[in-house]
Structure 1
Amino acid sequence: MHGSVERVSRRGFFLGQFGARPEAAPGWYSVEGLSAGPDDVFWDGWADETGLFVVGDHGAINHFDGEDWVRQPCPAPVPIHALWGTDRANLWAVGWMGLILHHDGEIWSQMRGCVVDAGGKYASVEENTPLFAICGGADGQAWAVGDRGMVLHFDGADWTVENASTHAHLRAVIRLDDGRVMAAGGDGTVLIRDVEGTWHALDCPVGSNFTAAMALPDGRVLLAGGRYFIQANGFRGDLVMWDGETFEKLFTDTEFSRFRALGRTGKGLVALGDAGQIHLLRDDHIDRLQSGTGHDLLGLVDLPLGDVMAVGDYGSLLVGGSAALSCFAPAIRPGEEPANWSAMQSGTDRQLWGIWHDPEQDMLFACGEEGTVLAHDRGKWEALPPAGALGIHDLARAPDGGLLAAGQLGEIHHFDGTAWRKHFDLFMDITLLSMWSDGRGQIFAVGDEGLVLHWSGVDWERMPSGTKSALYGVWGMDAEHLLAVGDFGQVMRWNGKRWDEFNAGTEHFLFDVWGRSLSDVFVVGLSGTIGHFDGSRWHITPARARNDLLALTGTETDVVAVGAAGAAARFDGHRWHMDPTGTTAGLRAIAVDGAGRYFAAGDGGTILFRDAK
């Protein structure tokens, strides 16, 4: 102005490059420019006035210099869980297999961990104990903690193991203003290291699995974490204050999801965690902020000018400023989140294990306990005559246009529109769990103990599957290209002549499989495991959801998976998003009709409907 040169501060320039905040989203907004997808998990970050580091699974170290994101080389491809440093020329990272990295301002060097044996695999040695948190001071000393009570101390020259006298898994470590160090972890474990270097256990009455700790200016310490409750079928969050002598559980009348990280802002303390929860603590009250995501948030990064960034599952990177810290979510009790699904009257309270869309008639059928079979006609569910007295797990079109129902004791029943008759009997205590038909007379059924049956027009024949593991789901592109999934990550592939193993790269049970083509296949399973085959390799999303995913299906534009405790997730072609269902009933099956509408069935006769979106 007036002929002078306008100077833009580096701080302001750096902050302005995360992408424009959407006008309709005054709160938290997603970072642009970093290529991240459903396989990415970000655990932590570190920032100064010249740039930002974000670390995560697969040895991810992403650096933002104010203009571009660049993935920096990592010496070991394992998850990196935490960052700390006095400056970018003295930055430390810790992670899986005991990994410790140091950044000198130019490159990352491996200082410890990830020891391999003669076979090239990670060795079962103490040095490979996973590490999850790190802290330090201006004097350059640092402490890192991890599984089985592992505590490491860096004295400015070397890392050495310290005896903390515990085998609890440790997930948080902080340095207090008086020079002491606090570590916290599983089952309410809280430890203090005195200035002489000796660790002592504190008597914490709250049996939480602590994941974060923060020292407050008045000498108190805030601890955060969560516990699993069987009756709730999930984790509940805990916030605990230590005043130097005693522990007090905060906000006992409020239910939270599990907390993962803590941070300090000009408006108060921030606690974030599972299911996209972000809470603002001020004095003696707490408010939930509108995060705009249902993904688990795992870390909080202080940014220049007082803004913060939340990082987490499915490549989540959210920036929040003063507007985000004032954008409060409406008070909603657990289980009352706005749902994208609507409940339907099924007319039964039996468990429903299968739901199937008949493309020929554009009709839906559901099946379950005690031979239950339902038909959806003109907007209502009506009961068909029972298909025997045993449980029915799946349905398919019969060769003559009727309906097939398969289930317990290896029985398959046929419905001709009026009555059921037994179509096949294995005469063995083996349950058939899933069927697939090409609509032209070729039918496959799979089940317990690696059972595979094939109908080619004359009779049911048992096929050698090559496995004794249970097979829970089967899907095919055609009668010569099928996949079946089961126990311990088992994937079996049929090529028209034989079944062969098809390693998906996970040991978690897989419960269903579905695809659009042979190069676009999805699987789901235990603890929210999601996998995708792109025609060349499998990409497995780490098991980090709170509930098992039991079934999935999709259209040309999206994929939806459902599971235990009313869990649902939707893939929009780029990322997976949690999809509130409004129920805690287990959802065991899903189908989509010709109009792209989804129907899910499950426990207690539950049937939900989701309109095409």
Structure 2
Amino acid sequence: MLLVGACTQPVAADDSSDGSGSGSESGEPHGAWQPVLQVDKEVGALMSVWGETPEDVYVVGGQPESGGGRVLHSVDGEWVVESLPADVSMLNWVYGVGDLVWSVGMDGAIVRREGGVWAAETSPTDRVLWGVWGASADELWAVGGDAVGDEPVLLRRDGASAAWASVELPELGVNSHGLFKVWGRAADDVWIVGDLGAALHYDGDAWTAHPDPAAVDIISVWGSDAEGVIAVGGRASGRINRVDGGSWAGETLAIPGLNGVWVDPEAGATAVGVQGTIIRISAGGYAAEAEDSGTNLVLHSVFGFAGGPRFAVGGSLLMPPPFTGVILRAD
């Protein structure tokens, strides 16, 4: 079920089942990817998914217009649309630390959820933000840039002042115009990836450039102690990268471009991309096993829980807006 605001007003449902409609729940066999929820233009495309537990999951997205931002929150299987400050545009990424959740998006939007309420934080940029991550509420990072003409954007939030500030970037080694995602294993081991193979590492003191020699767009990054750091991307063809001694090693696969990756803390990883692509990446390697998503929509993000379910989200992002969206789940 999908409800709005204070969980009292139902959203009109579309009974279509082609992956581009709205408001449906599925009862596919246990273990298969299934459309938990399909949403229409009133919600829009779904760009990112994150959760503290399988029973407490956030999905963000919307339409690329003022007031078009959306947050869906699942509590014990019931999805609700949470209220956002006025004029928040489409949100592109969500990540939480403790009881706090942050989301970033178009026009430099930054919002924080505390005590069940979303509030805007002052952003030092009006450029699009694609990713946010932090090891704790004491220090968070956000990245962005339009990948066309912008300078790449790197922001830091200081927990003591609760203020975001722009961070000067080192020489990237590539002519990058956008940074897409940020993720770390700790406050002193943080990775950023971006277009044309841009990649940065933070050791707790300074950022250094580690560009991918393949010079393809790297869209997402995640990792674990067991798997190390994995990044995925590519446009015409999907690419999987791993960090090897501070440098990137990778393979380009005969599959559509990849947009999101989540690394299982126990072993292996899941990546998603264009044309409904979902693959399982072998532990320690590059072998990719295709999984049936049941949709041709663009999948933009994937997140999961060790020993538990995985979620993938996306929408009609290759079509002109207004967008539609989908949430998939595999147990």
TM-score range, shorter chain: 0.7 to 0.9
- Aligned match of 1:420: 118
What's the TM-score once normalised by structure 1's chain length?
0.42
Alignment of 1:152-551 (within 5 A): 340-349=32-41, 350-358=44-52, 363-369=56-62, 370-389=68-87, 390-397=89-96, 401-428=99-126, 430-448=127-145, 449-457=151-159, 458=161, 459-466=163-170, 467=172, 469-517=177-225, 520-526=228-234, 527-535=237-245, 537-545=247-255, 547-551=256-260
Asked if structure 1 preserves the Cα contact closer than 8 Å seen for 2:210 and 2:246, the reply is no
Percentage of matched positions with identical amino acids: 24
- Aligned match of 1:293: none
- Whether 1:552 and 2:272 are equivalent positions in the alignment is no
Asked if structure 1 preserves the Cα contact closer than 8 Å seen for 2:230 and 2:263, the reply is no
Tell me the amino acid that sits aligned with residue 251 of structure 2.
Answer: T
Tell me the amino acid that sits aligned with residue 444 of structure 1.
Answer: W
Tell me the amino acid that sits aligned with residue 553 of structure 1.
Answer: W
SS at match of 2:136: coil
Q: Please report how far the alpha carbon of residue 532 of structure 1 lies from its aligned counterpart in structure 2 after TM superposition.
A: 1.4
Cα deviation, 1:312-357, whole Å, max 9, x if unaligned, reads xxxxxxxxxxxxxxxxxxxxxxxxxxx9311112555411111112
Q: Please report how far the alpha carbon of residue 414 of structure 1 lies from its aligned counterpart in structure 2 after TM superposition.
A: 2.1
SS at match of 1:591: strand
Asked if structure 1 preserves the Cα contact closer than 8 Å seen for 2:182 and 2:191, the reply is yes
SS at match of 1:438: strand
- Which consecutive unaligned segments of at least 5 residues does structure 1 have? 1-338
Closer/same/farther in 2, CA of residues 343 and 388 from structure 1, 3 Å limit: same
Please give the root-mean-square deviation of Cα atoms over the aligned residues, in Å.
2.2
Tell me the amino acid that sits aligned with residue 410 of structure 1.
Answer: G
Q: Please report how far the alpha carbon of residue 376 of structure 1 lies from its aligned counterpart in structure 2 after TM superposition.
A: 1.2
What's the TM-score once normalised by structure 2's chain length?
0.75
The structure whose Rg is larger is: 1
Closer/same/farther in 2, CA of residues 395 and 503 from structure 1, 3 Å limit: same
Please identify runs of 4+ aligned residues in structure 1 that moved more than 6 A. Answer: none
Closer/same/farther in 2, CA of residues 504 and 519 from structure 1, 3 Å limit: farther
Q: Please report how far the alpha carbon of residue 393 of structure 1 lies from its aligned counterpart in structure 2 after TM superposition.
A: 0.9
Cα deviation, 1:491-536, whole Å, max 9, x if unaligned, reads 1111222221113221111100111139721111112011112446
Closer/same/farther in 2, CA of residues 588 and 436 from structure 1, 3 Å limit: same
SS at match of 1:606: strand
Q: Hey, what's the Cα distance between the residues in 1 that align with 2:226 and 2:131?
A: 19
Q: Please report how far the alpha carbon of residue 388 of structure 1 lies from its aligned counterpart in structure 2 after TM superposition.
A: 3.9
Cα deviation, 1:93-125, whole Å, max 9, x if unaligned, reads xxxxxxxxxxxxxxxxxxxxxxxxxxxxxxxxx
Q: Hey, what's the Cα distance between the residues in 2 that align with 1:548 and 1:491?
A: 18
Tell me the amino acid that sits aligned with residue 479 of structure 1.
Answer: A
Q: Hey, what's the Cα distance between the residues in 1 that align with 2:294 and 2:109?
A: 35
Asked if structure 1 preserves the Cα contact closer than 8 Å seen for 2:219 and 2:258, the reply is yes
SS at match of 1:409: helix
Tell me the amino acid that sits aligned with residue 470 of structure 1.
Answer: G
Asked if structure 1 preserves the Cα contact closer than 8 Å seen for 2:260 and 2:273, the reply is yes
Closer/same/farther in 2, CA of residues 344 and 562 from structure 1, 3 Å limit: same
- Which consecutive unaligned segments of at least 5 residues does structure 2 have? 1-30, 63-67, 146-150, 316-323
Q: Please report how far the alpha carbon of residue 380 of structure 1 lies from its aligned counterpart in structure 2 after TM superposition.
A: 2.6
Closer/same/farther in 2, CA of residues 362 and 453 from structure 1, 3 Å limit: farther
SS at match of 2:122: strand
SS at match of 2:297: coil
Asked if structure 2 preserves the Cα contact closer than 8 Å seen for 1:363 and 1:377, the reply is yes
Task: Report the count of equivalent residues.
Answer: 269
SS at match of 2:275: helix
- Aligned match of 1:588: 300
- Aligned match of 1:23: none
Q: Hey, what's the Cα distance between the residues in 2 that align with 1:434 and 1:552?
A: 13
Q: Please report how far the alpha carbon of residue 413 of structure 1 lies from its aligned counterpart in structure 2 after TM superposition.
A: 1.3
Q: Please report how far the alpha carbon of residue 542 of structure 1 lies from its aligned counterpart in structure 2 after TM superposition.
A: 2.2
- Aligned match of 1:577: 289
Asked if structure 2 preserves the Cα contact closer than 8 Å seen for 1:371 and 1:388, the reply is no
Q: Which one has the bigger helix percentage? A: 1
Asked if structure 1 preserves the Cα contact closer than 8 Å seen for 2:55 and 2:77, the reply is no
Q: Please report how far the alpha carbon of residue 451 of structure 1 lies from its aligned counterpart in structure 2 after TM superposition.
A: 0.9
- Aligned match of 1:599: 311
Closer/same/farther in 2, CA of residues 427 and 485 from structure 1, 3 Å limit: closer
Tell me the amino acid that sits aligned with residue 569 of structure 1.
Answer: I
